[in-house]
Every structure is written in C-alpha cells, then in structure tokens.
Amino acid sequence: MTQRPKYPQTRFTRACRGEPVDQVPVWMMRQAGRYMPEYQRLREQAGFLDICRKPELAAKATLDAVQVLDPDAAIVFSDITIPADAMGQTLTFEPGPVLAPAVRSMYDVVSLKRVDAERDMAYVYEACRAVRAQLDASKSLIGFVGAPLTVAGYMIEGRPSKAWRELKRLVYGEPKVAHALLERVTETLTAHAIAQVEAGCDAVQLFDSTAGELAAAELQTFAFRYAREVIGALRHLGVPVIYFARNVGAHLEGVADLGADVVGLDWTVTVEEARRRLDDRVALQGNLDPAVLFTTPEEVDRRVHEILKESEGLDGFIFNLGHGVLPETPVPNARQVITSVRTHGRRQGPR
C-alpha cells in the first residue's frame, strides 16, 4: 500500500518523485544566509542562535530568501547542530558551531540527554508552521537534518574541522564508542525530521557534508548505515527524502541505494555521469559549483544551461548548487541562477 501524501503536490515534489513537470524546479542550499542584505539586517538585531530560537525571526529569514529569489522551495532556517544542543552539549557560534564538552568517550555518550523532540526543539517546529502559513501553496517547504555521521562529527570534534582527526580516531580506533554515539544521534535526528514534517514540511533533506572524508569501508558502516536508518524511518510519512553528501562520487551507486528519492550531487561528478551510472533510477539534484556565482551573470547563465542540457529527458531533476551559497555572493548572480533555470528549463509536463 502506498502512503498518500498529506500535502498538495508541487513542481518540486513531483520532480522528487520522478514525475513530469512543466519546468525544472530550483532552490539553493543556504539560500537564506550571510550574502543577503535582508539577513545581515536581521543579524544586526539578533545572534544566529537567537534567530534559530525565535520562530518569527527564523520564519522571516526563510521567507526573505523566497521573496528575493522566488525559488520553488523554501528551507527551514535552523542548523544541523541544533539537535546536539538538545542532547545536552552547549552550542555557541563563533561563527562556526562550537559544541562543549566534546564527546570523546563511552562515558560522554551515555551522559547525553534523551531528547523529546517536541519539547526540546519546539521552536523549530513553530518556525515550520509559521512559514507554512505564509508560503504560497505552489512552493514546498524543506525540513532538514544533518545525517548521523556529520552531526556526530561536530559533536566529537566540538567545532568545524579540516582533518576530522578526533572523529576518525573514534571511528577507526574505538568503533564501539562511535557506534554508540551514532545510535543515539540517529534516534534524535529521526524524531527531529518527523516532527518537521508534522509541522508542515513536505520534503526532508539529509546533509551528510562530512561522509566523504571516511575510508570506503567505514563510509558504509559509519555513514551510509545510519543515513539509511533515518531515511527508512521517514518512509511512512509519504514525503520525498533527499540525501546530499560531498565527495562521494566514487560511491554513487551506494548513495542511490540508501532509499532516498533524490540524490544531491556536488560538482565533482557530472549529471551526465550520474545518470549513466544510476540508470535514471533516482531523481537527481544539483550541481553548479557555488563559486561560479562570483563570475558574471553571462557565465552563470551559460553553466546553468549546460547542466540543464545534461538533465534533458530526466523528469526527476531539481536544479541546485553543488553546495551552499557562499558568503559575499553577489545577489544578482544568485537571482540569475533562478532566472536561467526558468529560461532554459522548460519541460513537457503538466503545470
């Protein structure tokens, strides 16, 4: 029996399911962020975490980006590290996330709090409801979580890292501790994703930004295994799930087998190669290098068109960047991405 979706279909959700659309849908990861003057003004009044914790401010950040860019989907304004705060670590931003005390031992893992998502992250779901109430019905609202490995990475390191040395020390040297943490994190993230859908999100994206750092065997057992568990637990909700990881081009077939409806691509693989290797069995999302937005509107247009040509004949295609919009990106070039997709991305499907 297939679950009937609770929400009306949009161009975005249809493409996620591989159904024909009139236009390739488009949104951008980190579309609400520091490059936008509207966001900078919000930040003059409030810290990043205050914005996340005040539903009216979080909703404003999400909706400002929709107003400026007119994408097909909005994304909840929050951060992947919020559930770690709910689990009892103290979260600050300076400006990257800092989580204290860092989780380094079995004692640290068992000391983490059991989360009641509806109680401990209520402000996120209130923000979802506030956005949904104001968002046009033709647009989707994407809820998100970090994938377990990526969130566990921040909890173990305590801050962003280039080498992920402490994460890897646990994964390679103390796998029992790493698995114990990943189990607790998976439980929390699953509840967090479900609560966002119940609060009005009609899709969920998992961000696995750190997965591609692991060796091939550990990628399977410490990243993919837990991502698959979260994705599987969302199936009964009937909303599409997107899995995005970076630097996993060598493992695309494994990524496509995680159970997600959509595979997010970074720019290190082409859409053409992904289609060939995956035989069009999942929808794809991506994959313009965000640094292209530092060139000219003409160059942005040319490269958007190239990617759209590669996606021709694939109903399940969602245009996005290959990673988040970078700080200091010129807003006109961000808008150009959307305009170019609307110009070059017309398709044969129903409106």
| Closest approach of ligand CP3 to the CB of residue 310, in Å | 23
Contact call for residue 77 and ligand CP3 (CB under 6 A): yes
Residue type, 325: V
User: Strands 90-93 and 97-100: what pairing?
Assistant: antiparallel
Among 64, 72, 79, 218, binds ligand CP3 (CB under 6 A): 79
Choices 88-96, 165-173, 178-186, 268-276 (CB under 6 A): range interacting with ligand CP3:
88-96
| Closest approach of ligand CP3 to the CB of residue 231, in Å | 17
Contact call for residue 10 and ligand CP3 (CB under 6 A): no
Annotation says 30 is catalytic: yes
The DSSP code for 222 is I
Contact call for residue 88 and ligand CP3 (CB under 6 A): no
Annotation says 43 is catalytic: yes
What is the crossing angle of helices 297-310 and 331-344, to 10°? 40
Q: Which is nearer to ligand CP3, 33 or 240 (CB)?
A: 33
Q: Which is nearer to ligand CP3, 97 or 316 (CB)?
A: 97
Contact call for residue 121 and ligand CP3 (CB under 6 A): no
Q: Which of residues 189-208 bind ligand CP3 (CB under 6 A)?
A: 207
Contact call for residue 97 and ligand CP3 (CB under 6 A): yes
Contact 86, 102 (CB under 8 A): no
| Closest approach of ligand CP3 to the CB of residue 12, in Å | 15
The residue at minimum Cβ distance from ligand CP3 is 209
Around Cβ 145, how many Cβ atoms within 10 Å?
26
Q: Which of 154, 226, 228, 301 is catalytic?
A: 154
Residue type, 99: L
Q: Which long-range contacts (CB under 8 A, 24 or more apart) does 28-31 make?
A: 28/69, 28/71, 28/320, 28/321, 28/324, 28/325, 28/334, 28/337, 29/75, 29/244, 29/320, 29/321, 29/323, 29/324, 29/325, 30/324, 30/325, 31/65, 31/69, 31/71, 31/75, 31/325, 31/334
Among 20, 96, 232, 332, binds ligand CP3 (CB under 6 A): 96
Question: What is the rounded distance in angstroms from the CA atom of residue 4 to the CA atom of residue 100?
Answer: 42
Q: Which of residues 11-70 bind ligand CP3 (CB under 6 A)?
A: 29-34, 43, 48
- Which tokens go with 1? 């029996």
Q: Cα–Cα distances in Å, from 221 out to 79, 177, 218, 226?
A: 25, 14, 5, 8
Interface with ligand CP3: number of residues (CB under 6 A): 23
Indicate the length of the chain as a whole number. Answer: 351
Q: Which of 7, 17, 22, 43 is catalytic?
A: 43
Residues found near ligand CP3 in the complex (CB under 6 A): 29-34, 43, 48, 75, 77-81, 93, 95-97, 144, 160, 207, 209, 324
